[in-house]
Amino acid sequence: MAKAGKAKIETYNNPAGGWGALKYVALNLVKEHVADGKGLRTLLSQNQPDGFDCPGCAWPDREHTSTFEFCENGVKAVAAEATKKRVTNDFFARHTVAELMQQSDYELEDHGRLTAPMVYDAVSDKYVPIAWPQAFELIARHLNALPDPDMADFYVSGRASNEAAFLFQLFVRQYGTNNFPDCSNMCHEPTSVGLPGTVGVGKGTVLLDDFDLCDTLFLFGQNPATNHPRMMGELRHASKRGATIVAINPLKERGLERFADPQSKMEMLTMGSTQISSMFIHPTLGGDLALIKGVIKRTIELDDEAVAAGAERVLDVQFIAEHTSGFEEFAADARAQNWEDIIGESGVSRADIEKLTQVYVRGKAVIATWGMGLTQHKHAVGTIQLLSNMMMLRGNIGRPGAGLCPVRGHSNVQGDRTVGIDEKPTDAFLDRLEQVFEFKAPRHHGNDTVGSVMAMLEGRTKVFIGLGGNFAMATPDTPRTFDAMRSCNLTVHITTKLNRSHLVHGKDALILPTLGRTEIDRQAGGAQGVTVEDSMSMVHVSYGINKPASELCMSETAIVAHIAEATMKHRNNGKKIEWLWYAEDYSRIRDAIEKVYDSFKDYNQRITNPGGFHLGVASRERVWKTDTGKANFVVHAIPLDTPIHRARKIHGDKLMTLMTTRSHDQYNTTIYGMDDRYRGVFGQRRVIFINKQDLEMLGLKDGEWVDVVSVWDDGIERRADGFLLVEYDIPRGCLGSYYPETNPLVPLESFADKARTPTSKSIPVLLHRAAVQHAKVA
Ligand SMILES: Nc1nc2c(c(=O)[nH]1)N[C@H]1C(S)=C(S)[C@@H](COP(=O)(O)OP(=O)(O)OC[C@H]3O[C@@H](n4cnc5c(=O)[nH]c(N)nc54)[C@H](O)[C@@H]3O)O[C@H]1N2
Ligand SMILES: Nc1nc2c(c(=O)[nH]1)N[C@H]1C(S)=C(S)[C@@H](COP(=O)(O)OP(=O)(O)OC[C@H]3O[C@@H](n4cnc5c(=O)[nH]c(N)nc54)[C@H](O)[C@@H]3O)O[C@H]1N2
Ligand SMILES: [Mo]
């Protein structure tokens, strides 16, 4: 277990950020043994023009030229990568896979950086060393033995660079499949699916400068003090300027209340802090669609009243007339919507909806941001479409200081999709790829993440290759995912650190150690930079500065090129691509990307700008790439028959809705430590937040241990045992807990309509007092 001290629950009353954040940074640097001069130099090079892009998250930087921007999340990510700890061949010789499976996720990654390619040996149940060329040949042999290329799945986690990702998709498509499950299938997919239907592009419309100009900010379903700390600087400035900030979240996340900026000498020295949100709205889990519909209804009603009174219009009638389609039907639906369902399904009072609407209609420049609280629900696509429609009512898209701001997770998750990691590619893109590279690309859609697990379970997928990530732990329905991975002929992980996906392996299995972004990537053409796209569509270059963790680590791009070379030399699909030539000098890959995408014009030249360049987002320019050529209003009914509704019909009030989120000390499946400081949880992770009245209703007590069982209708038992109940300020009927411990509870078949994102924030569950009651923790 983590050496995090005694387990305790203790209310946190300080602001987020501040000295507490600095202290934890120091602790992390010491833990990873990087607190010497070199470690600090590494941190100071983060997000500098000649340094590396922070692997922490996808939030942009001001021009990439600011002095070192302090961020606890970034420091932890960098320290975890720059750690001095190493997993050696000797380590693998000492442990069988069965033994390693007994270790926690924290312990597995805490062994440090992987140093040599390893292959699974079934006789000893151990990973043993393999030379790189043999590893590539093993992959080629498996891939070429498959009767159908669709029997291989190629997963990408969002840290892969544009160069590695582009080469990967090119290889996979020339090999013959569009099977690209990726982490964004579990993340912002509903954004990427929803926004094209309304505004034409599945990306945000704002730039950082808009945060200086907005007067109103709505923060939907995200926890920036933990997950995007650099965003807190923008929120702090906006608040100080007098912008109105509203947090829409079932939890009163500490960082949304008060924040002390470690960048501000004044706040640090005086122990001061800045109020962030002036208003909190606490919807029930999944209640945002109904809530947004309520604001839309009220906004239209206020406009109707203004028309009747001959007063100034509330709607931006000019924008609606000039730029949108479908308004009349949309408005009629909103007018006809009953309040009972709005209030009942959102869990927000009529008075609060009125307050929220008043803030909205007073705002002259409104930005709406959102995270996983909106995307990981059954009706996520509808929610995001309605949110964009709400913004359209007052012309809050494509105007300075206003717009849509989906806040992405992984540092290059947006870029990976841009350069072709997409199981549903458009024909236009494939046409272009075929033209440039002279081969026949597969046209039928491939497996997404959920589809990939299903295909493995059904024996349709036999080879799994992961470019980063931790597929087995990030995906839903853990025991079934484990079965799925174990049914493969071959599993391959291109990876920096040991994780459970390496242990839940196919008949043959490879662990291929790769360079992190902080490390010098030297190829025949010299030291290479890679490029990434942030959450606001800015593309910039990143150069590693540290010595590689091991001489045997290869870059992701080089590994991909070698797999492609080994595999494709035995296949015949159009012109031979010079894979290894591309990997010698990544600017050649960027030239190739430029040939496929007009938006990357002068790619190599434009990344020499310190801040990189903006890819251009049509909706920001009020150019609507939709079927109507306009921004579309779309009617969505409030869903009244979801799995939650159906389960509640059977179990009544005892049925609870569970959300699974991140603690402060984790990066997705990477557990840095056992504390969730701002929520007052220390030294432990198996906790469940629950409302006081629900505790009473269920006859349970704060400090008791419970087992959690999902309610689903396929006869499969889904349970996660041994969680400590923590009385918490959370709406009734809602529970909160951490991922990935609770992933066994998420049914694989429970996903967002149209986007197929697992519904990790709305799992119908029942609580049972656990047979084993541990000692009560204070
Ligand atoms: N330190 C750190 N940084 C990270 C990550 C990490 O794990 N650790 N992960 C990265 C990744 S990949 C991602 S995608 C982002 C994730 O960053 P977030 O989007 O902040 O994700 P979560 O931690 O899952 O938090 C979801 C928030 O939504 C709220 N919420 C849950 N359900 C609902 C709902 O139905 N409605 C509303 N309105 N709110 C709801 C929760 O209370 C919580 O505050 O962060 C990225 N950055
Ligand atoms: N229940 C529940 N499930 C969820 C979520 C949730 O909120 N609730 N969130 C979902 C979301 S938003 C996401 S994005 C996914 C995340 O899913 P993934 O992206 O698959 O998971 P990570 O935990 O980010 O991957 C961590 C691993 O990546 C490897 N790694 C780290 N850096 C590098 C690198 O530079 N290169 C390479 N090649 N490998 C590297 C390390 O080996 C590390 O163990 O999880 C999803 N799953
Ligand atoms: Mo994510």
Atom 46 (ligand 2) nearest CA: 474
Instruction: Please tell me the number of the ligand nearest to residue 159's CA.
Output: 2
- Domain range for 137 is 86-184+412-601
Nearest residue (by CA) to ligand 1, atom 36, is 373
Q: DSSP for 598-638, please give it.
A: GGGTTHHHHTTSTT-EE---GGGGT---STTSSEEP---PP
Query: Rounded mean pLDDT of 36-54?
Result: 69
Smallest Cα–Cα separation from 225: which of 249, 200, 207? 249
The whole-number pLDDT of residue 23 equals 80
Q: Decide: 497 in ligand 2 pocket, CB within 6 A.
A: yes
Q: Is the pLDDT of residue 47 over 70?
A: no
Are residues 560 and 687 part of one domain? Answer: no
Q: Let me know: does 235 contact 276? Beta carbons within 8 Å.
A: yes
Per-residue pLDDT of 702-746, as tens digits, reads: 999 999 999 999 999 999 999 999 999 999 999 999 999 999 999
* Percent above pLDDT 70 for the chain: 96
| Across 614-635, average pLDDT | 97
Torsion sign, CA atoms 660, 664, 667, 671 = negative
The closest ligand to the CA of 672 turns out to be 1
* Domain-ending residue, one of 383, 407, 431: 407
184 Cα to the center of ligand 2, angstroms = 10
Q: Is residue 636 part of a domain?
A: no
Question: Are 279 and 401 members of one domain?
Answer: yes
Tally the residues of the chain. Answer: 778
Are 148 and 202 members of one domain? no
The CATH number for 228's domain is: 3.40.228.10
Q: Give this prediction's pTM.
A: 0.96
Do 262 and 232 form a contact (C-beta atoms < 8 A)? no
My answer on whether 64 and 129 are in the same domain is no
The tokens describing 316, both together, are 């931006």
Q: How many CB atoms lie within 10 A of CB 640?
A: 10
pLDDT score recorded for residue 13: 85
- SS3 state at 155: strand
Average of per-residue pLDDT across 443-458? 98
- Cα–chain center distance at 225: 15
Within a domain: 322: yes
Cα radius of gyration rounded to whole Å, the chain: 25
Mean pLDDT score of the chain, rounded to an integer?
Answer: 94
Number of neighbours of residue 754 by Cβ within 10 angstroms? 16
Of 444, 366, 451, nearest to 403 (Cα)? Answer: 366
Strands (E), 104-215: 113-114, 118-121, 126-129, 152-156
Position 479 pLDDT exceeds 90:
yes
Tell me phi and psi for residue 429, to 5 degrees.
Answer: -65, -45
- pLDDT of 170 strictly over 50: yes
Give the integer Cα–Cα distance in Å for 503 and 98: 8
Asked if residue 389 and residue 417 are part of one domain, the reply reads: no
Q: Total structural domains in the chain? A: 4
| Residue 455 vs residue 18, higher pLDDT | 455
Taking CA atoms only, the protein residue closest to ligand 1 atom 46 is 409
- One domain for residues 473 and 576: yes
How far apart CA 483 and CA 473 sit, in angstroms, is 12
Q: Is the pLDDT of residue 344 over 80?
A: yes
Cα atoms found within 13 Å of the Cα of residue 241, Cβ hemisphere only? 16
pLDDT over 60 at 778, yes or no: no
- Does any domain span residue 418? yes
Output the domain CATH number for residue 103: 3.40.50.740
What pLDDT score was predicted for residue 51? 77
Q: How many A from CA of 182 to the centre of ligand 2? A: 10
Same domain, 588 and 449: yes
Task: Report which of 313, 331, 379 is spatially closest to residue 639, judged by C-alpha positions.
Answer: 379
- pLDDT above 80 (res 65): no
Cβ neighbours of residue 166 under 8 Å, at least 6 residues apart?
419, 420, 589, 592, 593
164 lies in the same domain as 206: no
Whether 341 and 715 have beta carbons less than 8 Å apart is answered as no
pLDDT > 80? residue 40: no
Task: Evaluate if residue 15 carries a pLDDT over 70.
Answer: yes
pLDDT tens per residue, range 289-300? 999 999 999 999
Q: Is the pLDDT of residue 477 over 60?
A: yes
Residue 775, pLDDT > 80, answer: no
Mean pLDDT of the region 676-686:
95
pLDDT at 548 over 50: yes
Asked if the model's pLDDT at residue 39 lies above 70, the reply is: no
Residue with CA at minimum distance from ligand 1 atom 40: 373
pLDDT band at 36 (very low <50, low <70, confident <90, very high): low
271: pLDDT strictly greater than 90? no
The whole-number average pLDDT for the span 662-686 is: 95
Decide if 579 is inside a domain.
Answer: yes
Q: How confident is the model at residue 67 (pLDDT cuts 50, 70, 90)?
A: very low
**Banded pLDDT at 49 (limits 50, 70, 90):** low
Domain boundary among 82, 100, 130: 82
Whether residue 384 has pLDDT greater than 60: yes
Q: Which residue has the higher pLDDT, 425 or 55?
A: 425
Q: How confident is the model at residue 307 (pLDDT cuts 50, 70, 90)?
A: very high
| Mean pLDDT on 9-18 | 87
Domain assignment present for 384? yes
pLDDT at 334 over 70: yes
pLDDT higher at 238 or 25:
238
Where does a domain end: 63, 82, 101? 82
Q: Please check whether residue 476 lies inside any domain of the structure.
A: yes
Let me know whether 558 and 679 are in one domain: no
Q: What per-residue confidence (pLDDT) applies to 66?
A: 44
pLDDT band with cut points at 50, 70 and 90 for residue 64: low
Q: Do residues 532 and 566 share a domain?
A: yes
Q: Which atom of ligand 2 is least distant from the CA of 467?
A: 38
pLDDT of residue 629: 98
Percent of the chain surpassing pLDDT 90: 85
pLDDT band for position 33 (cuts 50, 70, 90): confident
Query: Residue 54's pLDDT is what?
Result: 83
463 Cα: distance to centroid of ligand 2 (angstroms):
20
- Other beta carbons within 10 Å of 770: 17
The DSSP result for 544-558, as a single string, is: --BPPS-TT-B-HHH
39-70: burial string, b at 16+ Cβ within 10 Å, e else:
beebbebbbbbebbbbbbbbbbbbebeeeebb
Ligand 2 pocket test, pick from 183, 478, 661, 662 with the greatest ligand atom count within 8 Å of Cβ, gives 183
Name all residues whose Cβ lies below 6 A of ligand 1: 57, 73, 187, 220-223, 226-228, 248-251, 253, 283, 285-286, 288, 371-373, 409-410, 659, 661-662, 666-668, 761
The C-alpha atoms of residue 687 and residue 697 are separated, in whole angstroms, by 19
Give the mean pLDDT of 52-61.
Answer: 85
For position 776, what pLDDT does the model report? Answer: 57
For residues 139 and 567, what is the distance between their CA atoms, to the nearest angstrom? 7
- Position 22 scores a pLDDT of 78
Tokens in use for 70? 């302090």
Does the residue 627 lie in any domain?
no
Place of tokens 């909103």: 334
CA dist 403 and 316 (Å) reads: 14
Between 256 and 23, residue with greater pLDDT: 256
Residue 670 CA: nearest ligand 1 atom is 7
DSSP track, 572-606 = -SSSPP-HHHHHH-HHHHHHHHHHH-GGGTTHHHH
pLDDT tens per residue, range 94-116: 999 999 999 999 999 999 999 99
- Any idea what the CATH number is for the domain that residue 755 is in? 2.40.40.20
Sheet with strand 152-156: strands edge to edge: 126-129, 118-121, 508-513, 490-495, 463-467, 152-156
* 525 found inside a domain: yes
CA of 89 to the centre of ligand 1 (A): 37
Note the pLDDT of residue 28. Answer: 78
Say yes or no: 354 and 336 in one domain.
yes
* 93, 77: one domain: no
Cα separation, 35 vs 494, in Å, equals 28
Closest among 386, 367, 216 to 300, alpha carbons compared: 386
Determine the average pLDDT of the residues in 229-254. Answer: 95
List, in order, residues 6 or more apart from 182 with CB less than 8 Å away. 155, 156, 157, 158, 413, 416, 417, 421, 423, 448, 449
Strand 258-260 versus strand 16-17 pairing type: parallel
Single-letter code of the amino acid located at 381: V
Q: What is the structure's pLDDT at 63? A: 63
Q: Categorize the per-residue pLDDT at 46 as very low, low, confident or very high, splitting at 50, 70 and 90.
A: low
pLDDT at 554 over 70: yes
Q: What are phi and psi of 408, to 5 degrees?
A: -75, 165
Q: What's the pLDDT at 41?
A: 67
* CA–CA separation, 560 and 557 (whole Å): 5
Q: Which two tokens stand for residue 93?
A: 């010789």
